Amino acid sequence: MKNMALDIGEGTLQNVLNIVLLILLYASKVGILIGLMITTEKTSKGLINKNLSYNINKIGKGIGIIVFSLIIYFLVV
């Protein structure tokens, strides 16, 4: 009976891990940009309309996305 296990060498596994780390790195950068866009848009709309309390939840959500993405970024780097 032949062994059906897949032989994964160290080089292949290292390449897969490098690809996963690059994906996490770029995903965290995109998350930071999306959070900044949400935060600046809602803050500017609130300041223009003089009603910042209306957008405070969305501003907090944008800040949360930024913080979460920064944590992932610093864990990867």
Residue range of the domain that includes 56: 32-77
- Let me know if residue 72 belongs to a domain: yes
Number of structural domains the chain divides into: 1
- Let me know if residue 25 belongs to a domain: no
Per-residue pLDDT of the chain (77 residues; tens, 9 = 90+): 555 556 666 778 888 888 999 999 999 999 999 999 988 888 888 778 777 676 788 888 888 989 999 998 888 87
- Let me know if residue 11 belongs to a domain: no
- The CA radius of gyration of the chain, in Å to the nearest whole number, is 21
Q: How many CB atoms lie within 10 A of CB 27?
A: 14
Extract the tokens encoding 62.
């944008």
Extract the tokens encoding 23.
């994906």
- Let me know if residue 46 belongs to a domain: yes
- Let me know if residue 7 belongs to a domain: no
**Measured on CA atoms in the order 18, 20, 26, 28, is the torsion positive or negative?**
negative
- Let me know if residue 68 belongs to a domain: yes
Q: pTM of the prediction?
A: 0.71
